[in-house]
Chains A and B, each alone.
Chain A
Amino acid sequence: MTGISGAAGTRGIHDVGGLDFGAIDRSEHPLTTFERRVDALMMLMIGPSGVFRADALRRAIESYNEADYVNLTYYEKWVRALRILLVEQGVLSDEQIDARIAALRENCEGVQP
């Protein structure tokens, strides 16, 4: 964890080149449905007929605090960035998104164990 908040404090959380975060976990797993859907949504949103560019995705993710940057999974970071950028671009509103999540949760209560 050297270098992020130490003397080289000007580094962004994402700027890890040359540091040492230890052993590389090379295990792999097939992407889950959630991960594949977030991936597809992002590709559509940064594509030619999308509403923002890949640079905006990077900026959104680089704005996360260290705990979120480290602890959220790759696609959790992406779906959170989707929300931030869709709201920022005025495509959706926070109120709309929160209301829809609440409705989905209510619908799901009957089927959850």
Chain B
Amino acid sequence: MHDDDQGHTHGDPDPHAPSPDDAPPASEWEFLEKALSALLAECGVIEEADIQRMMNFTESRNPALGAKVVARAWTDSGFRDRLLCDARKSLREEMGIDVGTIAEIAAVENSDKLHHVVVCTLCSCYPRTLLGQPPAWYKSREYRSRIVREPRKVLKEFGTVLPSDVSIRVLDSTADLRYLVIPNRPGGTEDWPAHRLEALVSRDSMIGTALASDQNDK
């Protein structure tokens, strides 16, 4: 269903390729961005360097950071308890991660009986200062509308089939409260070092559309 890049034939422009930095604006919206950036710089509101700095900051926040948090929670029960109790504080004090402008972040833990999955039905709220930008599907009307109504079916579409005795709790995020799912630790990983545990934790497993697994493709 999802073509790899190899699927493109020669001469076909890659629809997923980012445009080069020096490309002239191609749409009215790109012109608008250039105009706003230039005017805000002239007014002294923000400089080009601020934009570059923010772009770099955003890229420094990504699922690998979340995976470190999850692996620590799996192996350090004291940290796990503090994370579940006050995620912002424990992330800052014990992991050195400042979640910044997010008003509140809550960690929720999956178990053999309860699975959590996160959505923002009204817009696209996401713990982006921990996990980076949300995937496009997370922001889509299709996911936002359906995950609250038929979560088990939607999870199955994501390849995540849960036993019928596992309850699913769907968490609807807001601008003021965003969630990190701590997925179930796979069995047989008791002796694994942190870096191997982290590799089990995909972005989607921290949203709840996947399980922690060594079959990660994201």
Contact: B25 with A16, CB < 8 Å?
Answer: no
Complex interface: chain A residues within 8 A of B143 (CB)? 24
Q: Given A17-B122, A111-B24, A44–B50 Cβ distance below 8 Å?
A: yes
Interface membership of B58, Cβ < 8 A: yes
Interface residues of B in 155-181 (CB under 8 A from A): 157-158, 172, 175
Contact: B142 with A32, CB < 8 Å?
Answer: no
Question: Contact partner of B19 among A18, A22, A33, A76, CB < 8 A?
Answer: A33
Contact: A18 with B148, CB < 8 Å?
Answer: yes
Interface residues of B in 122-153 (CB under 8 A from A): 122-124, 133, 135-137, 139-146, 148-149
A82 to chain B, nearest CB (A): 6
B15 to A, closest residue via Cβ = A29
Contact: B154 with A97, CB < 8 Å?
Answer: no
CA gap between A36 and B33 in the complex, in Å: 11
Complex interface: chain B residues within 8 A of A61 (CB)? 123
Contact: A83 with B32, CB < 8 Å?
Answer: yes
CA gap between A16 and B46 in the complex, in Å: 35
Contact: B54 with A38, CB < 8 Å?
Answer: no
Q: Given A44-B51, A47-B101, A91-B40, A101–B33 Cβ distance below 8 Å?
A: no
Contact: A27 with B34, CB < 8 Å?
Answer: no
Interface membership of A6, Cβ < 8 A: no
Q: Given A17-B144, A55-B175, A92-B40, A79–B33 Cβ distance below 8 Å?
A: yes
B48 to chain A, nearest CB (A): 10
Q: Given A17-B121, A24-B142, A33-B19, A79–B40 Cβ distance below 8 Å?
A: no
Q: What mask results when residues 63 to 92 of chain A are scored 1 for a CB within 8 Å of chain B, else 0?
A: 000000010001110011011001000011
Contact: B133 with A16, CB < 8 Å?
Answer: no
Interface membership of B39, Cβ < 8 A: yes
Contact: B18 with A31, CB < 8 Å?
Answer: yes
Interface membership of B192, Cβ < 8 A: no
Closest A-B pairs by Cβ, 5 of them: A17-B121, A29-B16, A40-B54, A100-B35, A19-B145
Q: Beyond A26-B1, A34-B19, A43-B101, list 6 extra A-B contacts (CB 8 Å).
A: A20-B149, A23-B142, A58-B123, A74-B139, A83-B36, A112-B24
A-B contact pairs, 6 of them (CB 8 A): A17-B172, A20-B145, A24-B143, A79-B33, A92-B39, A104-B35
